Structure 1
Amino acid sequence: MRALLSGYYGLGNGGDEALLATLLQMLPPSVTPVVLSGNLEETRKRYGVEVYERKSLLEVTKALRSCDAFIWGGGSLIQDATSALNPFYYGTIMAIAQKMGLKTVAWGQGIGPLQRPITRWLAKTTFGSCTRVSVRDRVSAALLSEWKIPHILAPDPVWALESQPLPGLSDLPAPRVAVTLRNHSQLTPDRLHNLTRALVDFQKATETFILLLPFQKNKDLSIAEGIKAQLTEDSKIICVEEPQILKGIYRGVEMAIGMRLHSLIMAAAEECRCFAISYDPKINRLMEDLDLPGWDLASLPDDPNLMSKAWIEHYANGEALSQDRLKFMLDRALIHREILFESLDTQTS
């Protein structure tokens, strides 16, 4: 069986690349993956897969005709908050695949926000026609229940991504704290200035080595560079392209301050204490599920002193997830693998 995988792949986003790496890790051995990508050479080289250009209708149609199954490969693909075009792009490909008679799987999805009636209708129609559906949060599951669409709820698949160590990480001074911020309209110059001042004070108080981890270079790197210029020499920007190594970095740090969802998931999965800065409901859901401390970006404290004290307190007294909780999250995340085997494995189906 050949399965076409569609997501936000080949566009330099560490979280979406981690979802692709996890999906490839979970696919049945009997399935040959084919990937729609925004960077064919990079995706082909990194994962050793057959690739097609994600924005070319001709290429997408050619890929679909060569495959037996189609998979929405994880994440918040069906939402119209960042762009009204997102649901139409992914929904149209799914609809074509269903029209062609392919097995179709919506895998590890986070649905919404869906602010427009037409995008809600498109989502309901395409999800309702899928062979199998798995979602990663309670709000998505509630929406599918409202639509009377059968589904499975399990934690984000990246919990189960196999991590690898970063060569040379152990040579850097310890203890280490990882920081991931991203560009966002609510991350105003004043808020970024206050965050940077708080990080400077936090580092002085804890004598930690700060690792700045851009998850998406074109949105995160300039922020990391601005912060790095204000910190002592005990800091470093690390840009990692391989998702398994990116996750493995957190095994070697004491605490993570994260604004990106998958920076927090990776950190928590690698037994690291986490402090969240939320710009999106999906991060608030994770904070609730794991009891993570943090702030909404829109209501970030104006006082850098208050921020640094909160981080110092969590660094000194906060705890990582318990072993029992970690095992639960991992075992539950593997349900996404079961969905793939039940839907696609020709040796068992």
Structure 2
Amino acid sequence: MYKILISGYYGFNNIGDESILRAVVDNLQDRLEDIEITVLSQDPVSTAEKYGVKSASRKSMKSIVKAVKRCDLLVSGGGSLLQDVTSKKSILYYLIIMWLAQLFRKKIFIYSQGIGPINSNLNRRLTARTLSKVSGIVVRDEASKEFLAEIGVDPQRVEVTADPVLRIKPVPLIIGQEILRKEGIQIDRDRLTVGFAIRERKTDSEFVDELCIAIDRLVTEQKAQIVLIPFHYSEDVGVIEELEKRLGDKVCSIKHKYLTNEMLSIIGNMDLLVGVRLHALIHSAIMNVPMIGISYDPKINSFMKSIGMKAMCSIYDFNNQDFMEEFNKTIQHREVIKNRVQEKLVHLTKALDTNEEMIKKIMEK
């Protein structure tokens, strides 16, 4: 039996990263034979139960060392693990796990990661040196490949695919309808239902001010029904509560945590999704829901480009007038947009086969 250890940002109730793990585990199990999967997780018991895998604590060095020693292959990814913008320390954490694998002469595979931004020169050198010694590198977009070349990784060793979550299949809408009812949200099919998946830690920012005006205009001018959806629950609940405080009964929100399939179905019941969270936008693409992307990070721009669209703006230059124009344009052309996105998804999901094909070759060696 071939033992695979997966390292990533798992067990933190971030629906985006949990969706990645669901996709990676399913893809490995579907396409590779006689494997045993172990996941490093913040909540090993929950991860083992949810995904049917073995799990070890990502915060215990003793557990990490033990897990690395017993594996045959370390899979790092997906997600944006190798970057130092959101945290200057987390990149070192993921590199240290790879260094341990190298120390114990284990093979390492980078699985459809988004790489960068990495601002520290030291972190750039460490990343380049580490990745130059791994068995295979697959990134989720061209920007990541270009960045790796910039810091000194041979671009000929880097394959480009897509975010692994894109391979998750659409789910029935009835699941989300039942959840919305339990949350006290009654969808009115005579009105447009607009979901908002917002990432913003500063609740007094100009972005939040303009967002409130935009939502108020959607309700008053378009008679829209607004649903606020937390994708990283612990981080997103703050801005959701701020929007509820300012807008009152003009908005409703999801109050509980949900699994990947449940969140997919919730998104599927929207007529349009406004997303700052990358995986909210990816969920929209999977469920064939028109979207408006607002960027806080280059990964948003890269994803929107990959599906033939553009992010409307960033959180730093968002204004309600531009938003309303984009909203009206998106609703007017929604069928064209949906068809274009689905065509792009066919090519992107096929490209994801590269991960398992490369891992299979590594296993055979």
TM-score scaled by length of structure 2:
0.86
Q: Is the 8 A contact 2:207 2:316 kept in 1?
A: no
Counterpart in 2 of 1:164? 171
Q: Is the 8 A contact 2:176 2:262 kept in 1?
A: no
Counterpart in 2 of 1:76? 80
Aligned-partner Cα distance in 1 for 2:89–2:293: 29
**3-state SS, counterpart of residue 299 of structure 1:** coil
Counterpart in 1 of 2:194? 177
| Aligned positions, number | 346
- Pick which of 106-115 and 261-270 moved more: 261-270
Pair 1:266-2:283 in alignment: yes
Amino acid at match of 2:60: S
Aligned-partner Cα distance in 2 for 1:336–1:127: 20
Aligned-partner Cα distance in 2 for 1:345–1:248: 36
Tell me the CA shift for residue 137 of structure 1.
Answer: 1.3
Tell me the CA shift for residue 310 of structure 1.
Answer: 3.4
Counterpart in 2 of 1:214? 230
Q: Is the 8 A contact 1:133 1:152 kept in 2?
A: yes
Pair 1:143-2:147 in alignment: yes
Q: Is the 8 A contact 2:290 2:338 kept in 1?
A: no
CA deviation digits over 1:277-311, x for unaligned, max 9?
1111111222333323511111122xx35533432
Aligned-partner Cα distance in 2 for 1:347–1:281: 33
After superposition, the Cα gap between the structure-2 partners of 1:60 and 1:219, relative to the gap in structure 1 and judged at 3 Å, is same
**3-state SS, counterpart of residue 39 of structure 2:** strand
Tell me the CA shift for residue 324 of structure 1.
Answer: 6.0
Aligned-partner Cα distance in 1 for 2:363–2:209: 57
Tell me the CA shift for residue 113 of structure 1.
Answer: 0.8
Pair 1:297-2:310 in alignment: no
Tell me the CA shift for residue 322 of structure 1.
Answer: 4.8
Aligned-partner Cα distance in 2 for 1:346–1:280: 33
CA deviation digits over 1:143-186, x for unaligned, max 9?
3345214011012111112243362517632342211112235x
Aligned-partner Cα distance in 2 for 1:238–1:333: 32
- Pick which of 77-86 and 325-334 moved more: 325-334
Pair 1:193-2:209 in alignment: yes
CA deviation digits over 1:75-95, x for unaligned, max 9?
110011122212211011112
| 1:1-349 superposed matches below 5 A | 1-27=2-28, 28-146=32-150, 147-149=153-155, 150-165=157-172, 167=175, 169=177, 172-174=187-189, 175-185=192-202, 188-229=204-245, 230-232=247-249, 235-237=252-254, 239-289=256-306, 290-301=308-319, 304-319=320-335, 321-323=337-339, 325-344=341-360
Aligned-partner Cα distance in 2 for 1:238–1:315: 27
Tell me the CA shift for residue 49 of structure 1.
Answer: 1.6
CA deviation digits over 1:238-297, x for unaligned, max 9?
544311221233322211100111111211222111111111111122233332351111
Aligned-partner Cα distance in 1 for 2:124–2:253: 43
Amino acid at match of 1:339: N
Gapped runs of 5+ residues in structure 2? 182-186
- Pick which of 189-198 and 96-105 moved more: 189-198
Amino acid at match of 2:310: L
Q: Is the 8 A contact 2:78 2:114 kept in 1?
A: yes
- Pick which of 114-123 and 337-346 moved more: 337-346
After superposition, the Cα gap between the structure-2 partners of 1:346 and 1:85, relative to the gap in structure 1 and judged at 3 Å, is closer
After superposition, the Cα gap between the structure-2 partners of 1:59 and 1:242, relative to the gap in structure 1 and judged at 3 Å, is same
Aligned-partner Cα distance in 1 for 2:51–2:336: 31
Tell me the CA shift for residue 318 of structure 1.
Answer: 4.1
Amino acid at match of 1:142: E
Aligned-partner Cα distance in 1 for 2:100–2:343: 39
**3-state SS, counterpart of residue 167 of structure 1:** helix
**3-state SS, counterpart of residue 115 of structure 1:** coil
Q: Is the 8 A contact 1:8 1:16 kept in 2?
A: yes
**3-state SS, counterpart of residue 348 of structure 2:** helix
Amino acid at match of 1:160: R
**3-state SS, counterpart of residue 352 of structure 2:** helix
CA deviation digits over 1:202-243, x for unaligned, max 9?
023223322211001111112223323515467342544311
